[in-house]
Amino acid sequence: MIYRTALLSILILPNIGAVMGFIIGRKSEKIRDAFNIFITGATLLIVTLLFKKVMIEPIKLFIPDIMGIGLSLKLDAFRYIFVWVTIFVWFLCTMYSTQYLIRYKNRNRYYSFFMLTLGSTVGIFLSQNMLNLFTFFEIMSFTSYILIIHDQDQYALDAGSSYLGMAIGAGLVLLMGLFLLFDYAGTLDIEELPNAIKYIGNIKYLISALIITGFGAKASIFPLHVWLPKAHPAAPTPSSAILSGILIKTGIFGIIITVHMVMESDYILSASILVFGFINMFFGGMMALMQRNIKRILAYSSMSQAGYILVGIGLIGLLKEHKAIAIYATLYHIFNHAIFKVLLFMGAGIIYMILHELSINKICGFGKHKTRLKIVFFIGLLAIIGMPGFNGFVSKTLLHEALSEAAHMYHSIWFVIAEIIFTLSSAFTVAYLLKIFISVFVEENEKYTGQYKEYIKKRALFPMTILGIAVIYIGLYPNALMELIFNASKTFGVHEVSSLHVYSVDSIKTSIMTIVLGIVIYIGFVRKYLLKIVDGKKLYMNPSLTWINIERDIYWPVMRITFSVSSTIFHWIDRAAVNSVHCIGKGIRSLSGMQIKLNKKRENKIELKNVVDKRNMLDWKEIVDTRSLSNIMVKMYGNMSSLMYAVFIFAAVFAVILVVVVVFHMPKS
């Protein structure tokens, strides 16, 4: 019972925090900040305390009647990873926000929605029912929208509408999938679903495609990623950190649930996820390489990292009985990515906080003498590029192993290509982070020497430090999380427990090689092709601006054309009834206004006599009597009703009736 209450409380606490925080915030900002940190801290504490229990057995909670089918929550080890990392990151971000947001407006609103987003995100991870999951997913979309457009300038609003459009659209596609799923399965409970859909045939691919599309937009699967590079730079940094670190994971979570829990690791599905994973990985990395805005680089980086996770998800399905390694890799990377990406964003955030500028062309050389910042950022960098000794290395190595396993299993040329893409993408990661790091922290720029120090407060650096420690700790002790992850893999039906041996010579070698390749790319491509010197200044170019932009060149035109075509059609239909009446009216009017020429020769003798001039006479002859049909009709009607014609009518009617009666008379049958 107490565990259930605890479970409910981690769902409800943030929501209470949102409301209370808003009320408190109207009185005092300081108390509110403290309160928010307290709430997130308390939630974190509860979750952490639940660890023991979760390791033994999942906690389940069912509240009937909510939304008709009831609220069904479950916390097992698999979900625990998501939940814990979410709350952990949130806790740190809340702390970070108190510093970051100091000079922003609408702080109160921000915190409320920040907490609401936490509540709904936790809800997503806890939901045991697809419908509940969807509900929280949608709530999260809306609340996070407010975080994204916090700046309320034109750029933020544009990014926001992009995000919202994608979110709602994807949500609806997802909903379509759920409709079909429910229609075929008759239930939406995640545990019951696998049995329920066993025999539904190929429709399950349609269903999964729809659901994955829905979740994929959040997980920024190519080509649904368009909102990502816009939203991240627009949002305040803690929000971007959350977006990148956690919200992407909600999509990932949904995909895992769909592919592995509901569809039981279907081969085709897994393979397609794998393909998308590689596309994401490569495309994200490449785009990140081109960008100049730090946050956008990091956003594309998130996309690329999401690709890694997707690859892991795909591999789980492909590896079948050997899937344990892939599961470890996936879960580990989810965890790690959340941590180091948040770390990197926070670093970028501090720069922005001070300079209100994110383009590396402008902030070049800013961090040269900011040692603490530099170190923390560097830790993040090392983690993401997979430097041995940092957590990124652990998961990447596991992933790579899983990939080799799959290659070993299938012996396909495709896996060679996959291997190349994998290495190349990792090298890209190295290259684009180097691009940031070198230009911001290594290069010299006298503009920034020795100032702005006072801005960096402990409250902002503290979360980063914690994250940095976490990065290194996991990197050094890869087995630290293993208990949790082993437990989690039970959810996937893996029961053998094996410890990890990440640090082998091979793996380190691969890693180093990748890093070297990355450096080569950096030097050979980034510095050579992207860096131009204009007016004695080094400026990075972004060639991708001229490339085909999926959103600008495909989505918008298609939407616009569809929209205008259908609008035209519907406008026409809209006016159809009214217009047809008008049209008939007009027709009648124009018909009645029709000018009929009557070339009457008026034999007016008196006038003739008076006419002396011949020319005049000619003129007079040409007089054409025109009148409109309506006049004629009116006149005719007037004549008709005159006595003369009335008698005519009478005669005519009588004659007609006589004829009709006599002619059409039927002999009695």
Nearest residue to 84 (alpha-carbon basis) of 124, 39, 47: 47
16 binds another protein (CB under 8 A): no
Choices 34-42, 156-164, 224-232, 489-497; region in contact with another protein by CB under 8 A: 156-164
Choices 65-73, 246-254, 295-303, 388-396; region in contact with another protein by CB under 8 A: 65-73
Q: Nearer to another protein by C-beta: 168 or 279?
A: 168
651 binds another protein (CB under 8 A): yes
Q: How many residues belong to the chain?
A: 669
Nearest-approach distance from CB 163 to another protein, in angstroms: 11
Sequence-distant (6+) residues with CB within 8 A of 12 are 119
407 binds another protein (CB under 8 A): no
Backbone angles phi, psi at 571, to 5 degrees: -60, -40
Q: Nearer to another protein by C-beta: 69 or 541?
A: 69
Q: Nearer to another protein by C-beta: 615 or 665?
A: 665
Nearest residue to 240 (alpha-carbon basis) of 319, 98, 349: 349
Nearest-approach distance from CB 161 to another protein, in angstroms: 7
Nearest-approach distance from CB 54 to another protein, in angstroms: 26
x/- map, 192-211, another protein, by CB under 8 A: --------------------
269 binds another protein (CB under 8 A): no
DSSP secondary structure of 523-573: IIIIIIIIEEEETTEEEE--GGGGS--IIIIIIHHHHHHHHHHHHHHHHHH
12 binds another protein (CB under 8 A): no
Distance from the Cα of residue 21 to its chain's centroid: 28
Crossing angle for the helix pair 267-290 and 413-437, to the nearest 10 degrees: 30
* Tokens read off for 668: 């009695």
Q: Nearer to another protein by C-beta: 33 or 138?
A: 138
> Which residue intervals of 593-628 are DSSP H helices?
605-610, 614-621
Q: Nearer to another protein by C-beta: 1 or 662?
A: 662
Q: Which of 179, 455, 477, 529 binds another protein (CB under 8 A)?
A: 179
* Tokens read off for 238: 């803690």
Is-contact 266 208, C-beta < 8 A? yes
Cα(158)–Cα(152) distance, rounded to whole angstroms? 9
> What number of CA atoms fall less than 13 Å from residue 584's CA on the CB side?
5
Backbone angles phi, psi at 595, to 5 degrees: -85, 125
Q: What single letter denotes the amino acid at residue 421? A: I
Q: Nearer to another protein by C-beta: 573 or 623?
A: 573
Choices 39-47, 128-136, 516-524, 591-599; region in contact with another protein by CB under 8 A: 128-136
27 binds another protein (CB under 8 A): no
Choices 43-51, 77-85, 180-188, 608-616; region in contact with another protein by CB under 8 A: 180-188
135 binds another protein (CB under 8 A): yes
238 binds another protein (CB under 8 A): no
561 binds another protein (CB under 8 A): no
134 binds another protein (CB under 8 A): yes
Which pairs count as long-range contacts for 490-498, CB under 8 Å and 24+ apart, including other chains?
490/77, 491/76, 491/77, 491/78, 491/261, 492/78, 492/260, 492/265, 492/316, 492/323, 492/327, 494/323, 494/324, 494/327, 496/324, 498/324
68 binds another protein (CB under 8 A): yes
Nearest-approach distance from CB 167 to another protein, in angstroms: 9
Is the Cα torsion angle 435, 440, 442, 447 positive or negative in sign?
positive
Choices 270-278, 524-532, 561-569, 587-595; region in contact with another protein by CB under 8 A: 561-569
567 binds another protein (CB under 8 A): yes
Cα(314)–Cα(325) distance, rounded to whole angstroms? 12
Q: Which of 3, 142, 555, 620 binds another protein (CB under 8 A)?
A: 142
Nearest-approach distance from CB 153 to another protein, in angstroms: 9
182 binds another protein (CB under 8 A): yes
**185 SS3 class:** helix
| Binding site residues, another protein, CB under 8 A | 65-68, 131, 134-135, 138-139, 142, 149, 152, 157, 160-161, 164-165, 168-169, 171-173, 175-176, 179-180, 182-183, 563, 566-567, 570-571, 573-578, 638-651, 653-654, 657-658, 660-668
